């Protein structure tokens, strides 16, 4: 391993790159890098640790400056140079830390921009030091687009200032300089803080123009990542005047699951504010911004990293694997593609010309087949493809998939060549998996289990995969995908794959033509929806993966299902379901809530309650010929409380156990739940139960489950001491019992014949 440069230095030192003059640090964030994922607590810890370290430095008489240094960890870079010999660095490791420093530097630029703008109003002659710092800040580690414009503005302003001499500045001169300055640095032409929200919006507009087509120093290979950064930076507006401290309250807080650039910028600003209030509380308002700028400058120049630079990418990747346990996993499809390419080039034995032609063809297939999918779909595609190709059942969600692929390819190549047909076969797996996942998801995993449940013709195979996608049970979902691909390769490979998916995702066709696949998916659906978590169904799906992996194509029969639930397992499953479902509450685990909602959907859409003439017999009949569907609005609606969770002020005595702290245990239980569309849910407005039931009867499509609620309430209601009709405890106990019986039986007794389900008579 040849590592040309390795040393401890700050980001400020890296920018200087051994020169006295500031140079621009350009970092290439390659396609395989995981997204920026620092959380608030990481920013908080960085500030607290640095301040604590600095406090120790203050007492170090030997070397105070050295003691101030704070070590952030390793950064691994691959140095590249363009035709003009401008150095750029591909980031192999350290992107999270470097991105955080980039945000600090951008905030420093924004704060300096505000400070200079305010200083101009009083005496432009004093701005030179801050102007030099701001432009240096931008040029070194923000971007390229506005550099010449700001330098031109600086020269023009300095000429005016130097020519002005010691004379007092009049209003028109200041307005002229202000206009020139604001136009160059991306601030609105006028600053009116009488309406801060309006001014903020004006700043966002000018920021957007300022950053449009900006070539950032964080240069992402994926354009969507760059646009996410651009969107975040344009929203970062700091409101400031000489009479107030910096204010950033209007910056929107983004979804943490997406790119949290703006969120971490807010956290950094909060850290600056906390520091100022704790350590320099007596600072005048006009100088608070200087405290912020000084601390950011200090952080950028004192936060040290172990900088490791090489010109050989392979060495950098090897070092990256050594330095990281990869707990967050680099699992991007593009990095996996490179592993396939590496083994094909080295182990195919083919000529260079053939290899180059094949790589072009493969790259085209990869881009056309996979790059169009969204981030969430891409990870599922990578995970399921890896499981089918390797047959591994122990790959955790956050494991490095590239390691599994690397091990598989290494083992394969120890016994044979890895030819063009081999890599084409593996690439085809990714292509088919992508088509399968996208067929079910349509590009979004939100509510897809409810959507497929609401589609009468959708098969158990499609409904099972949709459920697993929504629950994010990757290890379980991969087994279903393996089963789908294996069945295709063994039995249907002459059929167009899209036509094959049409068959297996249609209930009637799937039962008739792909019954083994139907039975195996049914086992997974039953165990997934009844078990509290993924542990129980995984025992079945591990067996599916081992039996239906790619290696077994041509050697294993699919005439009989490879998994089935034994009576002992069925009893264990029933006990598990009754334990978690009977104690479930509305504010509990999100995945449990999704299962409860899906059970309601399944019961309400697919079964009718039929009471016999005897005193004890009743059954649920499957709606095979008279399909029921819900309007689309229901799909995005959560479970609804029959009696409102929140009591109306002034009407508290009309509610069940209105003065009892244990009330919410029953109100948030399964017994008080019903499905209701969004429009009606808003209108219903948390009434007491007697009004809630009336609302269902008047405003919802008639349904036997609503009638049952009314009958149970009529048989288990009482009048409280204030004369209001409320449910007894028995209502909740009896409805819980009935729902658990319904849910368990319609799931556990389901089979391809869709036979009726005997239940207790009300």
Q: Which residue has the higher pLDDT, 352 or 719?
A: 719
Over residues 668-697, the mean pLDDT reads 91
* Percent of the residues in the chain that have a pLDDT greater than 90, as a whole number: 57
> pLDDT (tens digit, 9 = 90+) per residue, 271-289?
999 999 999 998 888 899 9
Q: At 327, is the pLDDT very low, low, confident or very high (cuts 50, 70, 90)?
A: very low
User: Would you state the pLDDT for residue 758?
Assistant: 86
Q: At 95, is the pLDDT very low, low, confident or very high (cuts 50, 70, 90)?
A: confident
With a cut of 70, say whether residue 431 has pLDDT above it: yes
E-assigned strand segments in 627-696: 639-641, 673-675
d(C-alpha 176, C-alpha 590), whole Å: 58
With a cut of 70, say whether residue 17 has pLDDT above it: no
- Comparing 13-17, 43-47, 346-350, 597-601, the range with the smallest average pLDDT is 13-17
SS3 727: strand
d(C-alpha 346, C-alpha 357), whole Å: 15
With a cut of 70, say whether residue 596 has pLDDT above it: yes
Q: Which residue has the higher pLDDT, 323 or 249?
A: 249
- Structure-block tokens of residue 585: 């509450």
User: Would you state the pLDDT for residue 328?
Assistant: 39
User: Would you state the pLDDT for residue 185?
Assistant: 95
Residues 505, 511, 516: CA angle, nearest 5 degrees:
95
Average pLDDT, the chain: 87
Q: At 648, is the pLDDT very low, low, confident or very high (cuts 50, 70, 90)?
A: confident
Over residues 140-149, the mean pLDDT reads 92
With a cut of 80, say whether residue 35 has pLDDT above it: no
DSSP for residue 470: H
With a cut of 90, say whether residue 25 has pLDDT above it: no
User: Would you state the pLDDT for residue 65?
Assistant: 55
Over residues 85-94, the mean pLDDT reads 77
Over residues 219-236, the mean pLDDT reads 84
Q: Which residue has the higher pLDDT, 24 or 717?
A: 717
Over residues 322-351, the mean pLDDT reads 68
User: Would you state the pLDDT for residue 321?
Assistant: 54
Alpha-carbon distance values, 707 to 26, 290, 569, 762 (Å): 67, 69, 35, 11
With a cut of 70, say whether residue 85 has pLDDT above it: no
User: Would you state the pLDDT for residue 361?
Assistant: 83
With a cut of 50, say whether residue 152 has pLDDT above it: yes
User: Would you state the pLDDT for residue 333?
Assistant: 75
d(C-alpha 379, C-alpha 387), whole Å: 12
> pLDDT (tens digit, 9 = 90+) per residue, 98-135?
999 999 999 999 999 999 999 998 888 889 999 999 99
d(C-alpha 740, C-alpha 671), whole Å: 10
How far out from the chain centre does Cα 477 lie?
18
- Tally the C-alpha atoms within 13 A of residue 256's C-alpha that lie toward its C-beta: 4
With a cut of 90, say whether residue 387 has pLDDT above it: yes
- Report CA Rg, the chain: 32
User: Would you state the pLDDT for residue 203?
Assistant: 95
End-to-end CA distance of the chain: 76
Q: Residue 391 — left, alpha, or beta (φ > 0 → left; ψ -120 to 50 → alpha)? A: left
User: Would you state the pLDDT for residue 740?
Assistant: 97
**Residue pair 235/248 in contact by the 8 Å Cβ criterion:** no
With a cut of 80, say whether residue 352 has pLDDT above it: no
User: Would you state the pLDDT for residue 66?
Assistant: 54
Alpha-carbon distance values, 107 to 96, 262, 268, 737 (Å): 17, 11, 9, 58
d(C-alpha 757, C-alpha 408), whole Å: 47
With a cut of 70, say whether residue 265 has pLDDT above it: yes
User: Would you state the pLDDT for residue 168?
Assistant: 83
Sheet holding 607-611, edge to edge: 607-611, 617-622, 757-760
User: Would you state the pLDDT for residue 331?
Assistant: 43
């Amino acid at each position: 391993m040849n590592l040309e440069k390795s040393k401890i230095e700050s980001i400020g030192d890296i920018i200087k790159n051994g020169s006295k003059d500031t140079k621009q640090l350009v970092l290439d964030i390659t396609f395989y890098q995981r997204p920026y994922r620092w959380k608030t607590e990481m920013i908080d810890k960085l500030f607290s640790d640095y301040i604590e370290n600095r406090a120790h430095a203050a007492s170090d008489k030997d070397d105070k400056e050295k003691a101030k240094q704070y070590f952030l960890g390793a950064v691994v870079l691959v140095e590249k140079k363009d035709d003009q010999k401008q150095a750029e660095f591909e980031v192999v490791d350290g992107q999270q830390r470097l991105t955080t420093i980039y945000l600090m530097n951008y905030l420093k630029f924004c704060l300096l921009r505000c400070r200079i703008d305010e200083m101009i109003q009083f005496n432009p002659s004093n701005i030179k030091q801050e102007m030099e710092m701001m432009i240096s800040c931008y040029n070194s580690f923000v971007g390229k687009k506005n550099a010449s414009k700001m330098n031109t503005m600086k020269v023009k302003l300095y000429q005016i200032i130097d020519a002005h001499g010691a004379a007092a500045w009049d209003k028109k001169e200041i307005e002229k300089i202000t206009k020139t300055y604001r136009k160059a640095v991306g601030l609105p032409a006028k600053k009116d803080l009488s309406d801060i929200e309006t001014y903020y919006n004006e700043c966002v507009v000018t920021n957007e123009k300022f950053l449009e087509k900006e070539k950032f120093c964080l240069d992402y290979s994926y354009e969507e990542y760059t646009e996410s950064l651009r969107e975040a930076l344009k929203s970062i507006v700091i409101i400031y005047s000489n009479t107030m401290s910096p204010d950033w309250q209007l910056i929107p807080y983004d979804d943490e699951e997406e790119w949290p650039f703006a969120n971490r910028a807010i956290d950094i600003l909060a850290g600056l504010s906390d520091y100022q209030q704790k350590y320099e509380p007596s600072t005048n308002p006009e100088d608070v911004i200087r405290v912020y700028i000084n601390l950011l400058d200090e952080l950028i120049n004192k936060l040290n990293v172990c900088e490791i630079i090489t010109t050989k990418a392979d060495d950098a990747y090897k070092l990256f694997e050594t330095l990281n346990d990869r707990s967050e996993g680099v699992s991007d499809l593009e990095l996996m593609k490179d592993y396939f390419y590496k083994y094909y080039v080295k182990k195919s034995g083919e000529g260079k010309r053939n290899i180059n032609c094949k790589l072009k063809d493969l790259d085209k297939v990869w881009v056309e087949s996979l790059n169009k999918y969204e981030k969430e779909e891409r990870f599922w595609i990578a995970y399921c493809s890896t499981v089918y190709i390797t047959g591994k059942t122990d790959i955790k969600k956050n494991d490095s998939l590239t390691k599994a692929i690397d091990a598989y390819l290494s083992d394969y190549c120890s016994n044979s060549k890895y030819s063009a047909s081999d890599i084409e076969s593996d690439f085809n797996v990714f292509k088919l998996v992508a088509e399968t996942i996208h067929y079910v998801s349509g590009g979004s995993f939100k509510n897809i289990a409810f959507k497929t449940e609401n589609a009468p013709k959708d098969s158990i195979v499609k409904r099972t995969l949709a459920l697993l996608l929504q629950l994010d049970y990757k290890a379980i979902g991969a087994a279903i995908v393996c089963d789908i691909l294996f069945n295709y390769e063994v039995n249907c490979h002459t059929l167009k794959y899209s036509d094959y998916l049409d068959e297996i995702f249609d209930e009637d066709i799937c039962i008739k033509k792909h019954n083994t696949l139907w039975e195996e998916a049914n086992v997974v659906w039953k165990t997934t929806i009844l078990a509290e978590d993924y542990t129980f169904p995984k025992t079945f799906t591990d067996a599916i993966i081992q039996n239906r992996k790619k290696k077994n194509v041509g050697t294993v029969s699919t005439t009989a299902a490879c998994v089935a639930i034994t009576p002992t397992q069925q009893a264990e499953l029933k006990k598990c379901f009754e334990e978690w479902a009977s104690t479930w509450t509305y504010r509990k685990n999100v995945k449990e809530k999704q299962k409860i909602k899906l059970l309601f959907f399944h019961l309400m859409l697919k079964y009718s309650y039929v009471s016999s003439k005897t005193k004890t017999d009743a059954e649920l009949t499957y709606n095979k010929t008279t399909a029921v569907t819900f309007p689309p609005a229901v799909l995005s609606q959560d479970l609804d409380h029959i009696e409102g969770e929140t009591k109306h002020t002034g009407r508290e005595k009309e509610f069940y156990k209105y003065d009892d702290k244990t009330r919410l245990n029953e109100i948030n239980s399964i017994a008080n739940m019903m499905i209701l569309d969004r429009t009606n849910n808003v209108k219903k407005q948390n009434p007491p139960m007697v009004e809630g039931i009336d609302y269902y009867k008047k405003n919802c499509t008639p349904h036997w489950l609503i009638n049952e609620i009314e009958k149970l309430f009529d048989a288990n209601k009482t009048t409280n001491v204030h004369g209001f009709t409320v449910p007894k405890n028995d209502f909740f106990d009896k409805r819980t019992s009935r729902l658990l019986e319904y849910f368990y039986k319609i799931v556990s007794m389901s089979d391809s014949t869709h036979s009726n389900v005997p239940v207790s008579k009300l």
